[in-house]
Chains A and B, each alone.
Chain A
Amino acid sequence: MTAANGVAKPEPETKVKVRDLTVFYGQKKAVGPVTMDIVGQHVTALIGPSGCGKSTFLRSLNRMNELIPGCRVEGDVRLDGDPIYGQGIDPVAVRRRIGMVFQRSNPFPKSILENVAYGLRIGGVSDSREISARVERALSQAALWEEVKDRLNDSALGLSGGQQQRLCIARALAVEPEVLLMDEPASALDPIATAHIEELINELSENYTVVIVTHNMQQAARVADYTAFFYLGELVEFDRTDVLFTKPSDSRTEDYITGRFG
């Protein structure tokens, strides 16, 4: 696989190892058990019909599921060998290494600068020069710097939808996570803004491991190196995107991607 600039990507290595991950809401099993190796510095897409568990699975990777009362997670997830779940493992620390961007952009009602700097400030960074530098770097990585560099102190709410989403991406990147989770990041955007986000994802995958949930199969086909198909709370198939979309192994995958579900 080649990166956005045409240079061949490094040998794929597993970044996140998921073993028998199961998520319960109370007594009801929402998704799992899932076993998957997420490859570092590549894009993995999670596809499947509504309610198949892909978002639940995504949120269990940065322990955001715990915010829902009654949610229970079993199984093992390891980031570069470090377990994410377990006694004495702080979810806050996990979320600094695994960032998340949401479906609807949710900037804070603060200035653009303060939005991006938020993660830094609460992480203890106080030196204003360091903050400025990291904010600029994050906004550049999110392809937003040129558009906002002259109005960093303006309210973030004045940006367009696509810009707000890129701001949220910059905000997540500012804390320099290793993995970036994206839950349908472009579903609320128009096609042009979507194309920008997809291009951004391509660029980001050079430095970050990206896992993206999408209900748009063509987007998964365009953007992802690897694709996982979820159905009815189960991981049905996981393979390289070009293989999954030309000769899937499971008939359920075949039926879903060719539009044969009733």
Chain B
Amino acid sequence: MTEEAASASAVPRPVAATERSAALARANARRTRRNMVADTAMAVASGAALLLVLAILAVILVDILRNGTSRLSWAFLTEAPREGMTAGGIFPAIVGMVEMVILMTLAGVPVGVATAVYLHEYASSVSPITRAIRIAVANLAGVPSIVFGLFGLGFFVQFLGAGIDKLFFGGEKIYGQPALIWAALTMAVLTLPVVIVATEEALRAVPRELREASLALGATKLQTVMHVVVPQAAPGILTGTILAVSRGAGEVAPILFTGAAYFLPLLPKHLWSQFMSPSYHVYVLSTQSPDVDATKPILYATVLVLLLLTFALNIAAVVVRARMRRRLPGGVG
């Protein structure tokens, strides 16, 4: 039939209705088959990619679990290291990390949120200053963390710290050396882009109607931001904070020069104390351990602790986001 139709196309002749509908049905069937093949191929490809990722993750996890669970115990978490890091626990490191993270959050989140609020609510979107700020934030996110470490060393420790020492302590070296506060501030700067971006996303998702409703009632812009916008954006801001914390807990390079120490006899008690951190602990254990076999279980256990902590924080972020989203209209995460 097709050859006839092809030769007949030179001399058009009326095709019978049945022939036409048959041709149409065949074309439809071909198209459906093509679509099905494409859909199946897509599903297979994405499934394979997912499996690959999961496989890699599984390999890592299995290795760590195999080697680390033996040492993981309550004692491990609450004891100090003994006998040159071949026995004992990592309690001081956990304490140090917690203190650093708390300081980092206290310093970084308000600044980040305020910056995001300014950028989104107050700044004119076309002014060059606004654009400059946004470019700066974007670049900040891309700076390698070791650079932050050097920045922290040069600016916080050697400039600010030394200056404080000269002004308040008569040159005595208290703040002009690696300290908890400087590490925390350095980490705050590093995680600033995370907080800013997450907050801005959250602010952007607050419906315009809510702002309008508040303003129409005679609220100032500040009142609207404080009483309506930020509460509505809270889940998103919280998520950003948790992500920042999660990042801060695990970074090594920035705290390398600014405050972390390998072994400290005392827990960090002052802002100018040095501190231990699990991530730094892992780094040192794996590169400078005198007795590799003895420290290997401790190493793996520490890594496991870090991983579990990261997972826990991320899950917490998801849960918080979900729970708060339920309470709000069109909530944002």
Contact = CB atoms under 8 A, between A and B. Distances in A.
Whether chain A touches chain B in the assembled complex (some CB pair under 8 Å): yes
Interface of A: 62, 64, 67, 69, 92-93, 95-96, 99-100, 102, 104, 106-109, 118-119, 122-123, 155, 157, 168, 171-172, 175
B218 A95 contact: yes
B216 A64 contact: yes
Contacts of A155: 327
Nearest to B217: A119
B210 A108 contact: yes
8 contacts: A62-B216, A93-B218, A96-B217, A118-B214, A119-B218, A122-B214, A123-B218, A155-B327
B225 to A, nearest CB: 12
Contacts of A99: 216-217
A108 B140 CA distance: 35
B219 interface: yes
A64 to B, nearest CB: 6
A118 B212 contact: no
Contacts of A118: 214, 217, 219, 227
B213 A95 contact: no
A92 B232 CA distance: 22
B215 interface: yes
B212 A64 contact: yes
Interface of B (DSSP majority class):
helix
B191 to A, nearest CB: 28
B274 to A, nearest CB: 45
B311 to A, nearest CB: 30
B124 interface: yes
B212 A106 contact: yes
Given A106-B210, A109-B329, A118-B227, A95 B220 contact: no
Nearest to B207: A106
B213 A106 contact: yes
Contacts of B213: 102, 106-108, 168, 171
B329 A92 contact: no
B217 A106 contact: no
A172 B227 contact: no
Those 6 A-B pairs whose CB atoms lie nearest each other, nearest first: A96-B218, A106-B209, A119-B217, A100-B216, A95-B218, A106-B213
Nearest to B219: A122
